């Protein structure tokens, strides 16, 4: 592959972000996640949340930076695999240097800790999230075992989602002066499951391929077969839908919430059915469908909140 002319760190990292981590898109996604989850918590507990607040900015920016930290860590820990199977990507192609990734990772970690210093009563949870990312970075100190077993990697890495959601919960309770006795734990647990399930489905769907696209990279479609992998992802998204139906029946919410969630679910099913009917390299790109579902579920509650304020 022909390399681009030599350029400085700003130019190289710009290439990286444009291809691997588009900043505007990822920040909007992080903000949607934080706002929808915190607004849902407010509706459950009968409190009021100001959309524009320092706490919301800290929370949204923190989720964005954790996502970026995870992405940069993946670049370093998966560099050998990427060199063999994804040589077109910025780092293995030589367009971005490993020291660029390492320097960026250090900067983002420092910024993440600095931002959370403005919320000292929740700093401990922010550090707990960061500690878990470090364990993921080190493959929980059993790299050989995890690299050989995708399901074990899923079991150890996917819990970062509820841990991040717990960070949002801690930030929410600190902002509203709430203690454990003030929380509706049954509703909070259901809410965490609702959000966790759709991110679990995204993790599965982005590693599903048609037979002709399978290679040495271990995918869920190789483990469960295309139909089994799709069923697993759809099952998780059905859990999200079921939780949304429970909340709709238990908490006063506009019909718009349910309509948007259902629309996202049906769009996802259409992508899965297209792949099952005609499995090929074009129809096997299921990750974007799972991403749309996440966005639509997040947007559903934000839109509902806008109608009821």
Would you state the pLDDT for residue 301? 86
CA–CA gap between residue 114 and residue 103 (Å, rounded): 17
Q: Give the dihedral sign, CA 22/25/29/35.
A: positive
And the tokens for 217?
């990279």
Architecture of the CATH domain 1-183? Orthogonal Bundle (1.10)
Find out whether 25 and 71 touch, Cβ atoms under 8 Å. Answer: no
Please compute Rg for the chain using Cα positions.
20
Phi/psi-derived region of residue 141, left when phi > 0, alpha when psi is between -120 and 50, beta in every other case: left
Would you state the pLDDT for residue 1? 44
Find out whether 72 and 106 touch, Cβ atoms under 8 Å. Answer: no
CB count in 10 Å sphere of residue 122? 23
Would you state the pLDDT for residue 252? 83
Would you state the pLDDT for residue 230? 97
The secondary structure of 162-199 as a DSSP string is HHHHHHHHHHHHHHTT--GGGS-HHHHHHHHHHHHHHH
As separate numbers, helices (DSSP H) first and strands (DSSP E) second, the chain gives: 14, 0
* Torsion on CA atoms 28, 78, 205, 60, rounded to nearest 10: -20
pLDDT by 10-residue block (mean), the chain, 309 residues: 64 95 96 95 87 90 98 94 90 94 98 94 95 96 91 96 97 91 94 97 95 89 95 97 95 91 96 95 93 95 79
CA–CA gap between residue 87 and residue 289 (Å, rounded): 25
Angle between helices 54-77 and 98-116 (to 10 degrees): 150
And the tokens for 134?
């470090």
Q: Three-state DSSP class for 252? A: coil
CA 156 to chain centre: 15
Find out whether 77 and 105 touch, Cβ atoms under 8 Å. Answer: no
In the chain, where the domains are located? 1-183, 184-309
Give phi and psi for 138, each to the nearest 5: -90, 10
């Amino acid at each position: 592959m022909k390399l681009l002319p030599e350029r400085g760190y700003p130019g190289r990292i710009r290439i990286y972000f444009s291809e691997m981590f588009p900043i505007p898109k990822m920040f909007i996604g992080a903000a949607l996640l934080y706002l929808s989850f915190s607004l849902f918590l407010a509706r459950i507990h009968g409190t009021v949340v100001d959309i524009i607040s320092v706490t919301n900015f800290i929370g949204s920016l923190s989720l964005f930076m954790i996502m970026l930290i995870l992405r940069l860590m993946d670049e370093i820990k998966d560099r050998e695999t990427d060199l063999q199977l994804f040589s077109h990507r910025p780092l293995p192609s030589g367009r971005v240097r490993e020291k660029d990734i390492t320097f960026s990772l250090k900067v983002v970690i420092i910024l993440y800790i600095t931002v959370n210093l403005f919320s000292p009563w929740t700093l401990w949870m922010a550090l707990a999230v960061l500690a878990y990312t470090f364990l993921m970075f080190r493959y929980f100190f059993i790299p050989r075992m995890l690299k050989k077993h995708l399901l074990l990697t899923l079991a150890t890495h996917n819990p970062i989602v509820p841990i991040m959601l717990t960070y949002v919960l801690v930030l929410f309770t600190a902002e509203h002066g709430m203690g454990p006795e003030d929380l509706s734990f049954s509703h909070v647990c259901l809410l965490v499951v609702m959000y966790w399930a759709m991110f679990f489905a995204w993790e599965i769907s982005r590693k599903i391929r048609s037979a002709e696209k399978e290679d040495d990279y271990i995918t869920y479609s190789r483990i469960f077969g295309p139909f089994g992998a799709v069923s697993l992802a759809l099952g998780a998204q059905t859990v999200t839908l079921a939780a949304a139906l429970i909340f709709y029946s238990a908490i006063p919410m506009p019909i718009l919430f349910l309509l948007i969630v259902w629309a996202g679910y049906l769009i996802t099913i259409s992508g899965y059915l297209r792949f099952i009917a005609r499995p090929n390299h074009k129809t096997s790109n299921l990750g974007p469908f799972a991403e749309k579902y996440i966005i639509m579920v997040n947007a559903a509650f934000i839109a509902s909140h806008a109608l009821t304020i």
